[in-house]
A and B are shown apart, each in its own frame.
Chain A
Amino acid sequence: MRKAFGLSTIFLAFSMLCIVTFSALALVTANSDYKLSKKVAQKNTNYYAAEKSCYTNIEKIDNELSNIYHSSSTKEEYFKKGEAFLKTLDYGSIDENNPTHFCFSESLSSNQSLNVCLEISYPEAGHMYFYKILKWQNSTDTELSDDTLNLIGSDN
């Protein structure tokens, strides 16, 4: 009996310590997974919101190019009026080397954006549209992304 004295307490303390540690770790992991899922959901929502905004911009350009097409008698006149119209838009920029190219971007998050570039095109038998989408790309600003690592003993 003398040998058994204290053993139950030691066994209980050890087993309880293990179970408490495992349950706490499980809770922390589950919370991290939930936060990650919420981030993914938010990113998905932001992407579709940015996409809608881009298509709203494209719709304005497309409608105006359609009007220009119907009011122009020649291909040259169409491009001239189209380029002049692109210059009036304030939500993007024209490519200096090619005035028929128009680019704009919509923000996805603090360091990500959706970049879109269009080219005015003249409707012909092979391509019956007023524009071509040259670029539809997510880009990340790496300068703004936080890639620092907190180390034990560091000042930060």
Chain B
Amino acid sequence: MRKYQHSKNSIFLLEIILDIIIFSFLVIIELKFFISTRTTTIETTLLHNAVNCCSNVATVYQAGNGSFDSMTNEFDHSVNLDNQLSIYFDKNYHECKSEKAKYHILVSPTSEDNSNLHTVMISFLTDDGKTVYEIEVCKYISNRPSHEEVTN
């Protein structure tokens, strides 16, 4: 009767199977890490650019006279609809036409018309309507006496 002997190959095979199991387990953890990293990086880029774009629009608004005129001059493709100004941005956060837009900024007045302190809400929205960032910006128009009052 022949006696069966385990070869070294079977131990090597067992080691490889064990390695594959550990490898698979660790790959799942690593993939989870990398996916989380990618998602967080995308969110960070979006928030960072949203803050920049809103600040740019705020600066243009404050440089004007409290109306949308300065912004419609500066942002060529902006659309004023029902006293709400929309400024469109493409995937690289450059201003573009509404057809190519991936994001847009909505500027809506929040102050009363008779006040000298004009305030607007500047909201950065994604194409699915999610608000990423918003700020309330004001522009104060100082009182001035008329020329006749000053000369008199």
Contact = CB atoms under 8 A, between A and B. Distances in A.
24 contacts: A4-B12, A9-B18, A19-B30, A20-B26, A23-B37, A27-B36, A30-B40, A30-B41, A33-B41, A37-B48, A41-B51, A44-B51, A44-B55, A48-B135, A51-B138, A52-B137, A52-B138, A63-B143, A66-B145, A70-B149, A125-B150, A129-B143, A130-B142, A130-B143
Given A16-B26, A20-B33, A51-B137, 14 more contacts: A5-B11, A23-B37, A27-B40, A34-B47, A44-B51, A48-B138, A52-B136, A55-B117, A65-B143, A69-B145, A123-B144, A124-B150, A129-B143, A129-B144
B74 interface: no
B116 A59 contact: yes
A129 B130 CA distance: 43
Given A1-B8, A59-B116, A34 B40 contact: yes
Interface string B140-152: 1011110001110
A123 B148 CA distance: 12
Interface of B: 8-9, 11-12, 15-16, 18-19, 22-23, 26, 29-30, 33-34, 36-37, 40-41, 43-44, 47-48, 50-51, 54-55, 58, 115-117, 119, 133, 135-138, 140, 142-145, 149-151
A27 B11 CA distance: 38
Given A8-B19, A123-B150, A34 B9 contact: no
Nearest to A23: B33
B33 A40 contact: no
Interface of A: 1-2, 4-6, 8-9, 12, 16, 19-20, 23-24, 26-27, 29-31, 33-34, 37-38, 40-41, 44-45, 48-49, 51-52, 55-56, 58-59, 62-63, 65-66, 69-70, 123-125, 128-131
